[in-house]
Amino acid sequence: MSETRVKAVDLQLDADVLVIGGGPAGTWAAITAASKGAKVVLVDKGYCGSSGATAPSGTGVWYIKPDAQLREEAKQSRFGLGGHLAENGWMDRVLDRTYENMNKIAEWGYPFPLDENGTQYRRGLQGPEYMKLMRKKALKSGVKILDHSPALELLADEHGVGGATGVRTQAGDTWTVRAGAVIIASGGCAFLSKALGCNVLTGDGYLLAAEAGAELSGMEFSNAYAISPTFSSVTKTAYYKYASFYYEDGSVVEGAGSQRGRSVIARNLLQGRQVYARLDQAPDDIQPLLRVGQTNFFLPFDRLGIDPFKDKFPVTLRLEGTVRGTGGIHIAGEHCATKVPGLYAAGDAATRELICGGFTGGGSHNAAWAMSSGSFAGEGAAAYAQNLGVKKEFRRLKGLSSSPLSAKAADQSAPRKTEEYVRSIQEEVMPYDRNLFRTEKGLDGSIERLDSIWNELRGKAVTLNSDGVKTREAAAMTATARWMYHSARVRTETRGMHKREDFPQLDNEQRYRLVSGGLDHVWVKTQEVQKEAVIN
Amino acid sequence: MIEIISESKCIECNQCVNVCPTNVFDRVENGIPLIARQSDCQTCFMCELYCPVDALYVAPDSEAVIHISEEEIEQQGLLGGYREKVGWGRGRTPVSSHEYMYQLSVKTRF
């Protein structure tokens, strides 16, 4: 692949709105912007329809009927777990919009199951079906989709962001899209941990946004780990609520569990003691339902001849970073605008703190956030682009990448070098005693090493091919890890998923957000949580 | 990781090349796709699901290549199993509308 040369004639497009990322948030953004009359281009690093964390999974959805009491209960349910950092107004808006959007999905033909009265039951989505439908709907709405087209840098002038450029890894050329507004919906960052569907999620959008001057928020809430069999990529932790956990000799691991007992599993694994699981608490009548509910959960077991209800199997904790964590690009307005004119963020790329605070359990809030923030951003970006008027025609846009893009081929050793950087970054963010259980000393050590990786990567030329994409991914993961750990260092307490071994208690004085940013010099500042949050 | 593209089954539609999120396959002129970057495979099973003729096999292990042969897979009846469960393909009903989806929600609040 490193031999791929840039062709003379590359792809150049004009649009009102460019969407980067084709998962649920990106497709909702694109479809919504198109419905407002905007001309939309959507680029995906992989394939819109199969890329990302949603496509291969089944997920619940935070779909609550507009009934005051039901809504109140829904908002309360995870407010405490999230460390009281969610906001009432945002939860209301997301509940409203999710309800509306799920009903639209039904109209578009999603095959929901029926309840005993023959009414569609709309509280869950199967990823393959959902994303196939979203792609179809986007195309039908007139959205131009570029698959296998990762973005390498944003383009901007003094008025703000005005497009992006990247490569087409299969066509072997480059693309440039000039757009009135850009929506980043490229997902979170799971650091190439092979958590299901997550290897395209390398924090690319965070880096793009930060290079344009946008801020991040809640990056300390970035240490989500999922239970998974050691021999598999399938990270569906919800089913482990039916699991018992055992040591090799068959004795029970006390306190281990899927909800609050994940730390116990981690501490055992840290001591080199393998933990085994068996879903032996699943009642007989539930077992066939579980098999249908998450078809891919059972796939690895079936293929290896293991019955997870009867056989013990070794488990590990796989990093899901900010994919299930709640940190991301800071949102500065109701339409998911960032503080940079023309730049919007949605889905896991944007902070999910507004509805989850510092913790998310299952996928239902995440799915709700993706479809709501995607459609908010789609509306905002379309209106912004349409109001630009003639200004749009005469923009002198410049690339914003912090490392220089280069049309020349890199030397032969570049891909191997990138792999080494990736392993070094993983060494800082994957170990449980660095990321899951944090200490000031540990964070300081990691920050120092990550700073030096950043300084090295900063000067590396980014070639215009798939090797260059990997170089940029490495830079994005390094930057992400630095915002994470700088934020984690400042939050000297334990709140949401953020755990400080040296500050194991929640500190009421620290009920604020941590906003971060910067590339060569990372900074962190506190910001008040909206006072309208009157939930006790 | 992706282990097998069955030469006897593959119809060279290149759908797997299109849908693979991590660009593992390469198109081949007048031939079946090549597994060109196996270590980039994230074991998401999407290629299997989109293959219209069940010609692909993804082994569950996401870290190591297991070198299973097409004969072994055939014998164990492993080809196409995931697509069948998801309910994709002619004459099948998508699992999304399965009555158990609703029953599971009612009984477990998943």
Model confidence pLDDT, tens digit, residues A129-162: 999 999 999 999 999 999 999 999 999 999 999 9
**Which of B102, B106, B107, B109 has the most A C-beta neighbours within 10 Å, making it the best mutation to test the interface with A?**
B102
ipTM above 0.95? yes
Q: Are A289 and B43 in contact (CB < 8 Å)?
A: no
A197 vs B17, B40, B44: nearest CB: B44
Contact A328, A307 (CB under 8 A): no
**Which of B24, B44, B98 has the most A C-beta neighbours within 10 Å, making it the best mutation to test the interface with A?**
B44
Residues of B within 8 A of A238 (CB-CB) are: 110
CA distance B53 to chain A (A): 17
Tell me which residues of chain A, numbers 155 to 184, contact chain B at a CB-CB cutoff of 8 Å.
Answer: 169-170
pLDDT-derived band at A367, boundaries 50, 70, 90: very high
A51 vs B21, B78, B94: nearest CB: B21
pTM score:
0.96
B38 touches chain A (CB under 8 A): no
Q: Encoding tokens for residue A25? A: 């948030």
Instruction: Answer whether residue A358 shows pLDDT above 80.
Output: yes
Element (H, E) at A517: strand A512-517
Model confidence pLDDT, tens digit, residues A46-96: 999 999 999 999 899 999 999 999 999 999 988 988 999 999 999 999 999
Contact A14, A176 (CB under 8 A): no
The residues spanned by each domain of chain B are: 2-107
Looking at residue A358, what DSSP letter applies? T
Element (H, E) at A97: helix A88-107
A46 vs B23, B49, B78: nearest CB: B23
Model confidence pLDDT, tens digit, residues A432-484: 999 999 999 999 999 999 999 999 999 889 999 999 999 999 999 999 999 99
Distance (Å, rounded) from C-alpha A315 to C-alpha A308? 12
Residue where the block lists tokens 């060569």: A520
What is the mean pLDDT of the segment spanning A313-330? 96
Contact A231, A243 (CB under 8 A): no
Q: Are A128 and B78 in contact (CB < 8 Å)?
A: no
Model confidence pLDDT, tens digit, residues B1-54: 999 999 999 999 999 999 999 999 999 999 999 999 999 999 999 999 999 999
Q: Encoding tokens for residue A283? A: 């009642």
What is the mean pLDDT of the segment spanning A86-111? 97
A106 touches chain B (CB under 8 A): no
Distance (Å, rounded) from C-alpha A274 to C-alpha A249? 10
A292 touches chain B (CB under 8 A): yes
Q: Encoding tokens for residue A504? A: 């194991």
CA distance A187 to chain B (A): 13
Q: What angle do CA A55, A57, A58 make, to 5 degrees?
A: 115
B18 vs A111, A112, A147: nearest CB: A147
Fold (topology level) of B2-107:
Alpha-Beta Plaits (3.30.70)
Residues of A within 8 A of B100 (CB-CB) are: 113, 288-289, 292-293
Residue where the block lists tokens 């450029």: A165
* Amino acid at site B32: I
Angle, helix A364-388 to helix A24-35, in steps of 10 degrees: 40
The whole-number pLDDT of residue A531 equals 58
The whole-number pLDDT of residue A391 equals 65
The whole-number pLDDT of residue A389 equals 74
What is the mean pLDDT of the segment spanning A319-325? 95
**Residue A251: Cβ-neighbour burial (10 angstroms; 0-12, 13-18, 19+):** exposed
pLDDT-derived band at A295, boundaries 50, 70, 90: confident
B60 vs A113, A288, A299: nearest CB: A299
